């Protein structure tokens, strides 16, 4: 069954200066699943997910210890290149952030373009494909050369997802992708996650427990940088093993 493992996290610790924000995490993610990370705010869930594609270390004073195994290789190994790593592990952020003064088309294709794809028809193909996967194609197909920032918030976020899909990473991280969106846009993004898990592995941080329940196959519960519990979403929500998880889920703290 090893071939179903998408990502393996071993003894992962994240620091801001001397402060240890994420403590000794050990987790395994399987291919073609949606994995939610929940927990009270400030619990280190964002920091944790940012360690998985080495974005965390771009923050000043930040550092990481531990291993993250992708396809048999540790992305934190001495000879691993963070830039290569990020090509295989994409990320969608909390706020929709299309690139400024770039058309929708440019936004989607900038990844492949800068990775060396020059063929125009190929790029157009990628654009159509990814926008379709991101359920945005029908809304923007007539205005591909408009500025990306002219779209609504929900559309922008789907554009960002399409942009990530364009470099075709097997794993996609999402850091509270719906927290800046209205409920209708949120539903669309949630449907989208369900759709793309057929091809990708999704790891998503969410502040919304109901969302985790709706979309995730597995759920991890974090408190203050500790992994309290990880398991099938149904188990976590109906039959939590830990008292803390139960308290959080029933709204007693958080």
| Binding site residues, other proteins, CB under 8 A | 53, 55, 58, 60, 81-88, 90-91, 93-95, 97, 99-102, 110-111, 114-115, 160, 163-164, 167, 169
Q: How far is the CB of 77 from other proteins (least distance, A)?
A: 13
Distance CA 19, CA 29 (A): 27
Q: With both helix axes pointing from N to C terminus, report the angle between 183-196 and 153-166 in degrees, rounded to the nearest 10.
A: 20
Question: Which residue, 36 or 85, has its beta carbon nearer to other proteins?
Answer: 85
Left if phi > 0, otherwise alpha if psi is -120 to 50, otherwise beta: which for 180?
A: alpha
Alpha helices in 2-103 (DSSP H): 45-51, 82-88
Question: Which residue, 1 or 83, has its beta carbon nearer to other proteins?
Answer: 83
Q: How far is the CB of 147 from other proteins (least distance, A)?
A: 10
- Give the tokens for residue 156: 């922008």
- Say which residue the tokens 């996650």 belong to: 193
Question: Which residue, 22 or 85, has its beta carbon nearer to other proteins?
Answer: 85
Strand, coil or helix: 69:
strand
Q: How far is the CB of 111 from other proteins (least distance, A)?
A: 4
- Say which residue the tokens 């210890």 belong to: 65
Question: Which residue, 84 or 191, has its beta carbon nearer to other proteins?
Answer: 84
Question: Which residue, 19 or 115, has its beta carbon nearer to other proteins?
Answer: 115
Q: How far is the CB of 115 from other proteins (least distance, A)?
A: 7
Sign of the dihedral through C-alpha 50, 219, 75, 96: negative
* 245 and 236 Cβ atoms separated by less than 8 Å: yes
Q: How far is the CB of 252 from other proteins (least distance, A)?
A: 33
């Amino acid at each position: 069954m090893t071939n179903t493992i998408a990502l393996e996290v071993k003894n992962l610790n994240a620091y801001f200066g001397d402060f240890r924000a994420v403590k000794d995490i050990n987790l395994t993610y399987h291919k073609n699943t949606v994995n939610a990370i929940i927990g009270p705010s400030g619990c280190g869930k964002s920091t944790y997910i940012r360690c998985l594609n080495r974005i965390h270390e771009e923050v000043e004073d930040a550092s990481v210890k531990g291993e993250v195994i992708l396809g048999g290789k540790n992305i934190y190994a001495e000879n691993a290149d963070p830039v290569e790593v990020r090509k295989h592990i994409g990320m969608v952020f909390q706020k929709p952030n299309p690139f400024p003064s770039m058309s929708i088309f440019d936004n989607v294709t900038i990844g492949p373009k800068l990775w060396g794809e020059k063929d125009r028809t190929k790029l157009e193909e990628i654009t159509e494909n990814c926008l379709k996967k991101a359920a945005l194609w029908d809304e923007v197909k007539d205005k591909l050369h408009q500025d990306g920032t002219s779209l609504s918030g929900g559309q922008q976020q789907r554009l960002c997802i399409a942009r990530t899909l364009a470099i075709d990473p097997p794993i996609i991280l999402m850091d509270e992708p719906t927290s800046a969106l209205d409920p209708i846009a949120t539903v669309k993004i949630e449907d989208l996650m369900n759709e793309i898990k057929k091809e990708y592995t999704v790891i998503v941080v969410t502040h919304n427990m109901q969302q985790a329940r709706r979309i995730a196959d597995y759920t991890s519960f974090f408190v203050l940088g500790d992994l309290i519990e990880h398991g099938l979403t149904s188990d976590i929500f109906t039959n939590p093993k830990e008292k803390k998880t139960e308290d959080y889920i029933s709204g007693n703290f958080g």
